Amino acid sequence: MAIKNLNQNISHSVTIQKATESDCKDTWIWRNDEQTRQMFTSTDEVSWEAHKSWYESSLKNKNRYMFIGFLEEENKIGICRFDIDEETKIAEVSLNLNPNYRNKKLSKSLLKNSIFFLYTLINVDLLAKIKKNNLSSIKCFESNGFILYKEGIDYNFYIKEYVY
């Protein structure tokens, strides 16, 4: 099932599909990009074995939803992951762009369409933990309706409530 972008102002067609085993290597490469690592909680490179094990277990985890974004249905532009806390019914959101598609104004559409896809499956509030110096991510999440919830030392927390 693919969800097309409903926003007519976006010049590119971004589609979303559930992540599959075939996306493992791409997400590992994106995760180990130096600029990407600087924005993650853990800035260390991840070995192929560790990533593959994490990825395979992620696909089986009923509380984790991973979506891959495609540009014009052929080029993978990134991954959006939602980790559902069963007690609070809040999903922590993580977004990682393919480094080849940075600075092309695609992250907003990737996030928007991933949220739309998620909401076809489950209704939850969303939480994003973003490094304070990651201005691109802050702008992306705020443009998708996230508001500053709590400030931390290195990170700020943003929320988006599910609208019934």
Residue 11 has pLDDT above 90, yes or no: no
Q: How far apart are CA 31 and CA 97, in angstroms?
A: 9
Residue 8 has a pLDDT of: 37
Q: What is the mean pLDDT of residues 117-123?
A: 95
**What integer best gives the mean pLDDT of the chain?**
89
CATH code for the domain defined by 3-160: 3.40.630.30
Per-residue pLDDT tens digits for 53-78: 999 999 999 999 999 999 976 799 99
The answer to whether the beta carbons of residues 16 and 71 sit under 8 Å apart is: no
Which of 9-23, 68-82, 91-105, 130-144 is the least confident region? Answer: 9-23
Strands 90-97, 125-131: pairing kind: parallel
User: Which residue ranges make up each domain of the chain?
Assistant: 3-160
- Give bridge partners of residue 52 from the DSSP assignment: none
Nearest residue to 79 via CA among 48, 58, 61, 53 = 58
